[in-house]
Amino acid sequence: MSQIKVRSALISVFYKDNLEPIVELLKAQGVTIYSTGGTQKFIEEQGAEVIAVEDLTSYPSIFGGRVKTLHPKVFGGILYRRDNDGDKEQAAEFEIPAIDLVIVDLYPFEQTVASGASEQDIIEKIDIGGISLIRAAAKNFKDVLVVSSREQYPALETLLREKAGSTDIDDRRKFAAESFDISSHYDTAIFNYMAQGQSIDRFKVSERESKKLRYGENPHQEGHFYGPLESLFDQLNGKELSYNNLVDVDAAVSLIEEFSTDENAFAILKHTNACGVAIGSSVKDAYLKAFAADTISAFGGVLVSNQPITTEAAEELHTLFFEVLIAPKFEAGALEILKAKKNRILLMKKQNLTGQKQFKNLLNGVIVQDRDLASDDSSDFKLATKKATTADQDRALVFASKIAKHTKSNTIVLAKEGQLLASGVGQTSRVDALRQAIDKAKQFGFDLNGAVMASDAFFPFPDCVEIAHAEGVAAVIQPGGSIKDQHSIDFCDSHDMAMVMTGTRHFKH
């Protein structure tokens, strides 16, 4: 029975918006409509005749509406197999009418949780009848069409119009698949709420919003983004974000959120690592200081500011080719300048990142961890050397540590107060990372005398502080924890260097 004429429909929805055209079509096509409660009233107001579910079942809605449609005459009409003689005989015996179309949505559970409602209100938004109807109709897609969300109303309206109230097996199977998507997402949201504070070690994530990317990390790889990206950014200009853009944007936003909005912070990233970071007297000043750290790598980079982009800053930024610029706001004059390049991506950031977990697939499973939300502050410093740090050095050390936290390990960051001088990134040896940073600082004309050094992890040997001292580095920040910490401390003490330890490692792989 591939082609089936819709002769009867059960409609029970929470959201009534955009339902009117569907009701008009069903009425015009002579479809028998079953409904209950507020939906019944809404349909009758459209001038359509409705058979109340209570009249079908000869049973009232009970327990404050918790039980309305859970009845054999409803579920039997959905589930009985039209090509099964035994099912047809039983349907006739028990006077169970066929239901060919089920239009049901679910109580807004996620929205109720997000609103901060009481637990009792949240529990009442766990749908029972609706999700049961959806699963039943989706299971029997050979005979029944199921519509499980108002998002599907336009598709249903088109289908009913184009096929004069009939559906074929491909239509019904597609709607059924979408219904199981909706029901599984709903159950995941409920589980994640109910499991809070419970020792139930499970990994369940569901994202229904998706965006196909131009390609993945490379052109031969397919890529998608899953999630409500529009809630985080408004894209004001440019081509579609690519997979690599998104990876860099995530790194850029994570880094810039380390800095207070009381200061003008600016960062330039390439392949998720910062090649320039600075705090300035203005957005323009912060950008120029960040750009000075590596005028080569900035080409084609991802830029981020924690302050609105001014027209003055835009004039400077416009001289650089970059892929993406992220900021909380853009002045009108700045937008006019920056939009001159049609492919230049401009993102207005609307809110901070809220995720508490990170995960990725590897081997034959998934690894999950808490996001690294620990940020080093001078109040966390434990002075390890005889020589104390100055207030200026403390500020520089905090600044450098923030950058090291968001740089691929092994990393060494060299900085002065409010400016990244250079960093060594992703090296297999911490010594190599330091040497890379030193070479880069010199390449771009920086004097390392009086600079500070940050390391994402401890020094197993004193070689890094020895090399840093030879270049004029005056103060060091590291987590500590090596059984040979004292070797590095002793060197600093004998060479008038200051070192603080934080006790917090910031590996980033």
- Residue 452 main-chain phi, psi, to 5 deg: -115, 160
Q: Report the pLDDT averaged over residues 108-118.
A: 93
Rounded CA gap, 184 and 41, in Å? 30
Q: Beta 4-5 vs 166-167: how paired, if at all?
A: antiparallel
**Residue 392 host element (H or E):** helix 391-405
Rounded CA gap, 261 and 252, in Å? 15
DSSP codes, 153-175: HHHHHHHHHHTTTEE-HHHHHHH
Question: Looking up tokens 């009409």, which residue turns up?
Answer: 77
Q: Where are the alpha helices (DSSP H) in 58-108?
A: 72-79, 85-93
Rounded CA gap, 43 and 35, in Å? 8
Rounded CA gap, 30 and 52, in Å? 17
Predicted pLDDT of residue 386: 96
DSSP codes, 126-139: S-SHHHHHHHHHHH
User: Is the model's pLDDT at 334 over the cut of 70?
Assistant: yes
| pLDDT tens readout for residues 237-256 | 999 999 999 999 999 999 99
Instruction: Retrieve residue 421's tokens.
Output: 């001088």
Contact between 480 and 383 under an 8 Å Cβ cutoff? The reply is: no
Torsion of CA 248, 251, 254, 255, to 10 degrees: -110
Show Cβ contacts of residue 146 under 8 Å, excluding neighbours closer than 6 positions. 101, 102, 104, 134, 137, 138, 172, 175, 176, 179
| pLDDT tens readout for residues 7-34 | 999 999 988 888 999 999 999 999 999 9
Q: Report the pLDDT averaged over residues 293-300.
A: 96
Q: Which residues are catalytic?
A: 139, 271
| pLDDT tens readout for residues 404-463 | 999 999 999 999 989 999 999 999 999 999 999 999 999 999 999 999 999 999 999 999
Predicted pLDDT of residue 242: 93
3-state secondary structure 258-322: CCCCCCEEEEEEECCEEEEEEEECCHHHHHHHHHHCCCCCCCCCEEEECCCECHHHHHHHCCCCC
Predicted pLDDT of residue 352: 92
User: Is the model's pLDDT at 314 over the cut of 90?
Assistant: yes
| pLDDT tens readout for residues 118-164 | 999 999 999 998 999 999 999 999 999 999 999 999 999 999 999 99
| pLDDT tens readout for residues 175-233 | 999 999 999 999 999 999 999 989 898 889 999 889 999 999 999 999 999 999 999 99
Helix/strand/coil for 310: coil
Rounded CA gap, 95 and 93, in Å? 6
Crossing angle of helices 85-93 and 72-79, in 10° steps, is 150
| pLDDT tens readout for residues 262-286 | 999 999 999 999 999 999 999 999 9
Contact between 235 and 346 under an 8 Å Cβ cutoff? The reply is: yes
Helix/strand/coil for 505: coil
Question: Looking up tokens 């040896």, which residue turns up?
Answer: 429
Q: Where are the alpha helices (DSSP H) in 8-84?
A: 20-28, 37-45, 53-57, 72-79
- Residue 269 main-chain phi, psi, to 5 deg: -125, 150
User: Is the model's pLDDT at 1 over the cut of 60?
Assistant: no
Instruction: Retrieve residue 70's tokens.
Output: 């859970």
Predicted pLDDT of residue 37: 87
Measure Cα distances from 153 to 5, 100, 352, 385, 490 in Å: 18, 16, 33, 69, 73
Predicted pLDDT of residue 430: 95
Kindly report the average pLDDT of the chain as a whole number.
Answer: 94
The residue that leads in pLDDT, 495 or 59, is 495
Q: Report the pLDDT averaged over residues 50-65.
A: 83
Instruction: Retrieve residue 461's tokens.
Output: 């040997």
Predicted pLDDT of residue 506: 92
Rounded CA gap, 473 and 469, in Å? 5
